[in-house]
Homo-oligomer: A and B are copies of this chain.
Amino acid sequence: MNDLRRLSLNQITIDQWSLAEVVEACAGAGVPSIGVWRHKLDGDAAAAAHVVRDAGLRVSSLCRGGFFAAATEAERRERDDDNRRAVEEAAELGTDVLVLVCGPASGRDLAAGRAQVAEGIERLLPHAIDHGVRLGIEPLHPMFVSERSVVCSLGEASDLAERFDAAQVGVVIDVYHVFWEAGVERQIEHVRGRILGFHVCDWVTPTNVLAGRAMMGDGVIDLRRLRAAVERAGYDGPIEVEVISEELRQRPGEEVLSLAIDRYRAEV
């Protein structure tokens, strides 16, 4: 059984709650950290930071920057501006990890989309360094390649991260996105020193693309094996429970939080 010291609740798991509600419930339940989403900040990261700090909680990461590929120069500038704001918000919240969901290509050319991602990270990096924020490239499952991320394997995320300094750019490993990879344990070892986050949930059969993730233990992911691999590779940071699920959104937040804690203890 896990104690809760490394547990972080990614707030998208209880999207029905405001940030203040998540903070209050986590503090009450002994969950020490939360993962924050930008759309929950109401544009005021400073106020959010106060709420979190006053409750004695830490922010393990901010979701998300990214979506680098753009069809026009104007759009590209807009996204760069938004990514710089994301860096500032992360710093304000006291987390040094900004999760990057890299975005789809703007057309059919995935190689061009991937090049735009690398260039986008390069443009964002000086601002991130100035603010003491590390950029965590999160590879997304290949079923999201045309909607959310052209970076769709841990190997690819690792290749991309390695173009930059390990102290500044790393990867965020979400079991849901990478558990299917044949060489995943070897890849995890390969990204030693660059693991900026570890997210858990579960994969159910049959799956549902958009919001069909499940609570740990309800699906087929070998969570213990992946956690062991991440720890062998030296990661000892927060373990974020991040379950994007239509079904969980229909249930009372208290119930979801309690289930997340129980399953974290028993299954991760």
Contact = CB atoms under 8 A, between A and B. Distances in A.
A221 B107 CA distance: 9
A112 to B, nearest CB: 10
A266 to B, nearest CB: 15
Interface stretch (A3-11, A31-39, A66-74, A204-212): A204-212
The number of times this chain is found in the oligomer is 2
Contact of A180 (B145, B182, B220, B221): B145
Contacts of A182: 110, 114, 152-153, 155-156, 159
A208 to B, nearest CB: 7
Contacts of A130: none
A198 interface: no
Contact of A110 (B107, B180, B208): B180
Contacts of A114: 182
A106 B156 CA distance: 28
A18 interface: no
Interface in A143-159: 143, 145-147, 152-153, 155-156, 159
A109 interface: yes
Interface of A: 104-105, 107-110, 114, 141-143, 145-147, 152-153, 155-156, 159, 179-182, 203, 205-210, 219-222
